[in-house]
Structures are given as structure tokens and as C-alpha cells.
């Protein structure tokens, strides 16, 4: 049986990922499907029986920092940690193989933890991006390294925490490091050879469109990291990716202008990396409200016309709906308490309120530095037509200070102070995907740090900082089941079949839990 399972590992051509809905028992990409919806079509676990979920097996990680979202292909699970990958038998959790790469002794994570969010699979290989800036291809059958390419210099603050995205014959990967004053980029590598096919700089240089939004030489250290996995539309051949904050974070004096393409979604040609369109959520950001989010793609009728759409509940506190062919702003509204903007104008640009910028004395603003939500995945259900988001109700006191760039060091120009924890809380919110109007919420004691998954069993799976993994009715938000994992949860759930039976998985602390009926 082991030989058969390992043989099946080499059977993941692009067509399978494109047609992910035809095999709902697998989880073939970071968000399961290219549309970023993190929705499982499986129905075996549903509102009538979810209360009977039990732990079937657990897998122990060797290191902390487990924000991973596993990949499942034909009864084999690929799971990552910082600079490590394992292939597990989904029936038992027993490893088929394990791979790791040492983290250099002089490596420093600047502005983020030592973590990894997942792998990509394509054809007969598994791909991981490492903290020390290597993209590595592993043989899916054995875990043996097939190739590795160095994509950046960790000594300058570049790092990889992102789960790669496999499209066509390419592996797309983005960099962390915005707080170190890097110049961000998104890369595409040949999946077979590791040759770089294209690079898109998120901070445009001289002669590139958008460079006029930077003054002096600020673009050279402009930030704009790409540390969360994007989405892809195969029909349009467009890659959609969220871009991080400008640098320095809280002092914008040295970088007057809108600072493109920070805090934006970009749509790039999958073959060339050329920019098709962009939309900037927070021009000239001074609160570290980057747009490092998973975009959600869906189709619906808007204003009497069928449209291809892209949606985002943004870190800045506003929900946005755009046309994903053109980037046109269609609608938007706030979905948490925010005190920095009066609203959005007809183009989607924020209408700023006075007195919200950081100062030397400190300025209290909602939402906090970590935003109304952040990197962890939202979800969209094509059944309920609702957009689900783990929302954070929290303010911060923002400070501004001088910023001096030194390669490989913290380049922020200020900071934040947390306020009374009794005034902060969280919620799982269901929004009308076309308008952003709240339909229901399930309150949490503290602001969450974990992603969501909806299912065709009319469920939404979510987590809390207190270690609870739970299921809600996707239509009403009614709680139906919960399990105390014993550790704060900072990851995204998935769902898959084991020999025809639906299961749910979530990483918590040092442990991956797999649940079934």
C-alpha cells in the first residue's frame, strides 16, 4: 500500500488544480482552489452531525511557528514547518518522508516570526520557500531535493514565509521583510528547472509606471512585501496578489506620495509578470495596514451585469468589491470600528479624517497595527453568497519617530502601544459579498489570529486565541461544535477525504489535529 501511495504522489498535473472542484476530497492548493475561496464542496460533515466530530489522529511538529495550511493529494498530506516538509499518510499520520534545511545561525526575522504557511504541489514535485530565501523543489515520492534556487539575501531582511502558488508551468513566490526596508517583489520560477521566468517589483523604479508616487530615493527601501499567497484566474491568465506596507512603516515624511504599489492588489499576466491593473486600498499608509491578504474571486451580477469579481476585507477596516478584469471599484464599506476615514469616494479612495496620523506623542486610532483582519484566510461560500472574515476590534496608540535605514535592521520610523485589553475583542463575521453588509457575527473574547473555511455542509470552521477550534452554522452563525486544542491557533483549516470519509484538519501550537465523525 505504501508503494501505491507514493506512486500516486507524482500525479498532480496543472489540470487537476484547475479542476479542483471535480475532486473535492483533495486539497490541491493553498486555498484548495485558485479562486482563494477556501470553501470545501464536501457535505458529509454538516449541521446535523458536526457535534459528533472526534480527533482521529495528531501529528507533532518539532518546532513552533506552525501557521501551515496542508496540501492533501490522494491520501497523502504534505505539511510544512519553518524550513521543513513532511509527507504523511492521511489514515494514520505516519510520515512517509521528512525533509529539512538548517536555518543559518545568523538569520534574523525582522518584523515577523519564524514560520511557514505551506507548500505547493505540481506534477511530481513539492515546493517550499524557506526562511533563508531559497525556493526548493522536492521529489514528491521520496522527499529528495531536485533543485534549489536562492531568490534573495536574508542578511538584507528578505525572507520567505509564504506558501508558493503553482500556475501553468511556474511556481510563484513572494517575499517577507517590509519592516527591514527591502524593495519587494513577486517572482515566477520554472517548475521543472528552477529558472527565474519573471520578477515584478512591487516598488517601481525609475521609468516604471507608479515611480512618480515616490520622491527622492525612497523607492529603494520602500517595502511592499508579498508574504501571503495570492489567487489565479486561469481563463484570464491573471495572478492576483496582495502587497504589503510601505517602509518606513509609521513615518511617511521621507516618502511623500501614494507609494505604489504598497497596500494594493495587483493583477499580473501569468506568463510575463506584466501589470494588468492595480487597486490601492490605503494610499501613503502610515499605520502598517498592508494588503497582504488572500484575494477571493467569484462571479455575480452587479448593477444588472454579470461580472468577474474580486473581494477583500482589508486590514484598514473596509470591505472592497472590485471587477477583477479591470480593477474597477464597485462598492465598499467599513466592517469594523475605524476612526481614520470618513468613508470611500466613488473611486474607492479613502476620505481621510484629520488627526489620525502617528505623532511623537502618540495618536489613538482604530483599527490597531495588526488591522481589522490580517494574513489569515477569509472564506466565501457559493451556497450562502456570504464572505466570512475573522474580524479584530482593537485600537492602538501610534507613534512616529526618526527612521534611519541600515541594511538588515528594523526600519519602521515609530511603533504602537497596545491599550486596555478589556476594550478589545473579536468576531467571526458573515458579510454580504456584494455589499459588505454584516449578516451575522459570532463574538470572540479576544481578536483572532486564525483563518476560516466554509463547507457545502453549511458550516464555517474558525478558531480563537484561547485554543478553541469550532464550527458555526454558515447561514446563521449559530455555534454547533468546539474542541479545545490546548494552544493558541494561528493557522487555517482544511477539509479532505480519507477513503471516502470527510475529515477536518487544523494546526495548533506544536500539533496538527485531524478530526472525523
For 488-497, write each residue's pLDDT tens digit. 999 999 999 9
Q: What is the 3-state secondary structure (H, E, C) of 46-91?
A: CCCCHHHCEEEEEEECCCCCECCCCEEECCEEEEEECCEEEEEECC
CB 455 within 8 A of CB 39: yes
Termini Cα distance of the chain: 24
Can you tell me the distance from the alpha carbon of 203 to that of 207, in angstroms, rounded to the nearest whole number? 12
- DSSP labels for 351-390? EEPTT-S-BSS-EEESS-TT-SS-SS--EEETTTTEEEEE
Return the bridge partners of 190, or none: 170
- pLDDT reading at 246 higher than 50: yes
Q: Is 288 a catalytic residue?
A: yes
Q: What's the gap between Cα 8 and its chain centre?
A: 28
Strand partners, 431: 387, 438
Give the pLDDT mean for 501-517. Answer: 97
* pLDDT 10s digits, 369-378: 999 999 999 9
pLDDT interval class at 10 (50, 70, 90): low
**Domain CATH number, residue 144:** 2.140.10.10
Q: Residue 430: inside a domain, yes or no?
A: yes
Q: Decide if 50 is inside a domain.
A: no
DSSP codes joined into one string, 180-196: GT-B-EEEEEETTT--E
Which of 35, 74, 258, 288 does the annotation list as catalytic?
A: 288
Report DSSP state, residue 356: -
Range of the domain at 506: 2-37+65-516
- Return d(Cα 344, Cα 323) in angstroms, integer: 17
358: Cα separation from own chain's centroid: 27
Coil, strand, or helix at residue 14? Answer: helix
Q: Is 130 helix (H, G, I), strand (E, B) or coil?
A: coil
Give the total number of structural domains in the chain. 1
Task: Report, as an integer, the average pLDDT of 398-409.
Answer: 95
Per the domain annotation, does 377 fall within a domain? yes
Q: What is the pLDDT of residue 6?
A: 53
As a whole number, mean pLDDT of residues 218-247 equals 98
pLDDT of residue 186: 98
Residue 16 lies in a domain: yes
**Residue 67 pLDDT > 60, yes or no?**
yes
From CA 445, how far away is CA 429, in angstroms rounded? 14
pLDDT confidence of residue 64: 72
Residue 65 in this model has a pLDDT that exceeds 90: no
DSSP 105: T
Question: Does the pLDDT at position 312 exceed 70?
Answer: yes
Instruction: Give the model confidence (pLDDT) of 156-174 as tens digits.
Output: 999 999 999 999 999 999 9
Residues 6+ positions from 88 with CB-CB distance below 8 Å: 59, 76, 77, 78, 79, 94, 95, 96
333 inside domain: yes
In a domain, 373, yes or no: yes
Indicate whether 59 belongs to any domain.
no
Do the domain assignments include residue 60? no
Does 129 score more than 60 pLDDT? yes
Which pLDDT score is estimated for 1? 47
Residue 210 C-alpha cell reads as 507608479
Q: Assess contact for 240 and 266: CB atoms under 8 A.
A: yes
Residue 18: pLDDT band with limits 50, 70, 90: very high
Amino acid at each position: 500500500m505504501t508503494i501505491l501511495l507514493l506512486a500516486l504522489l507524482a500525479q498532480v498535473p496543472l489540470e487537476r488544480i484547475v479542476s479542483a472542484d471535480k475532486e473535492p476530497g483533495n486539497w490541491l492548493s493553498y486555498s484548495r482552489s485558485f479562486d482563494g475561496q477556501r470553501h470545501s464542496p464536501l457535505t458529509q460533515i454538516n449541521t446535523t452531525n458536526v457535534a459528533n466530530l472526534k480527533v482521529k489522529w495528531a501529528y507533532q511538529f518539532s518546532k513552533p511557528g506552525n501557521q501551515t495550511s496542508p496540501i492533501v493529494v490522494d491520501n497523502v498530506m504534505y505539511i510544512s514547518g519553518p524550513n521543513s516538509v513532511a509527507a504523511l499518510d492521511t489514515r494514520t499520520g505516519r510520515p512517509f518522508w521528512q525533509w529539512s534545511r538548517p536555518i543559518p545561525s545568523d538569520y534574523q526575522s525582522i518584523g515577523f516570526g519564524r514560520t511557514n504557511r505551506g507548500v505547493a504541489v505540481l506534477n511530481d514535485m513539492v515546493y517550499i520557500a524557506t526562511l533563508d530565501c531559497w525556493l526548493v523543489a522536492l521529489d514528491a515520492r521520496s522527499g529528495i531535493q531536485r533543485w534549489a534556487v536562492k531568490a534573495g539575501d536574508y542578511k538584507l531582511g528578505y525572507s520567505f514565509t509564504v506558501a508558493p502558488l503553482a500556475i501553468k508551468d511556474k511556481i510563484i513566490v513572494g517575499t517577507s521583510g517590509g519592516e527591514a526596508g527591502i524593495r519587494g517583489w513577486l517572482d515566477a520560477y520554472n517548475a521543472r528547472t528552477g529558472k527565474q521566468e519573471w520578477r515584478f517589483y512591487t516598488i517601481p523604479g525609475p521609468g516604471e509606471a507608479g515611480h512618480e508616487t515616490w520622491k527622492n530615493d525612497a523607492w529603494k527601501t520602500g517595502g511592499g512585501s508579498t508574504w501571503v499567497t495570492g489567487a489565479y484566474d486561469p481563463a484570464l491568465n491573471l495572478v492576483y496578489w496582495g502587497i504589503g506596507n510601505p517602509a518606513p512603516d509609521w513615518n511617511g515624511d521621507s516618502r511623500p506620495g501614494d507609494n505604489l504599489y504598497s497596500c494594493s492588489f495587483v493583477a499580473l499576466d501569468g506568463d510575463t509578470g506584466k501589470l494588468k491593473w492595480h487597486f490601492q486600498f490605503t494610499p501613503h499608509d502610515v499605520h502598517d495596514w498592508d494588503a497582504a491578504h488572500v484575494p477571493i474571486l467569484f462571479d455575480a451580477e452587479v448593477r444588472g451585469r454579470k461580472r468577474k469579481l474580486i473581494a477583500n476585507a482589508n486590514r484598514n477596516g473596509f470591505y472592497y468589491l472590485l471587477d477583477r478584469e479591470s480593477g474597477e471599484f464597485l462598492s465598499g464599506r467599513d466592517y469594523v470600528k475605524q476612526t481614520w476615514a470618513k468613508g470611500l469616494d466613488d473611486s474607492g479612495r479613502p476620505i481621510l479624517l484629520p488627526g489620525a496620523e502617528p505623532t511623537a506623542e502618540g495618536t489613538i486610532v482604530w483599527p490597531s497595527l495588526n488591522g481589522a483582519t490580517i494574513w489569515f484566510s477569509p472564506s466565501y461560500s457559493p451556497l450562502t453568497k456570504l464572505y466570512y472574515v475573522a474580524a479584530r476590534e482593537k485600537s492602538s496608540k501610534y507613534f512616529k519617530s526618526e527612521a534611519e535605514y541600515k541594511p538588515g535592521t528594523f526600519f519602521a520610523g515609530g511603533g504602537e502601544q497596545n491599550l486596555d485589553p478589556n476594550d478589545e475583542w473579536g468576531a467571526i463575521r458573515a458579510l454580504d459579498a456584494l455589499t459588505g453588509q454584516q449578516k451575522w457575527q459570532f463574538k470572540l473574547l479576544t481578536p483572532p489570529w486564525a483563518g476560516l473555511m466554509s463547507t457545502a455542509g453549511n458550516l464555517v470552521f474558525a478558531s480563537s486565541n484561547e485554543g478553541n477550534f469550532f464550527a458555526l452554522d454558515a447561514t446563521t452563525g449559530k455555534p454547533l461544535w468546539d474542541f479545545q486544542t490546548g494552544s493558541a491557533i494561528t493557522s487555517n483549516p482544511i477539509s479532505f477525504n480519507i477513503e471516502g470519509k470527510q475529515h477536518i484538519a487544523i494546526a495548533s501550537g506544536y500539533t496538527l489535529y485531524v478530526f472525523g465523525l
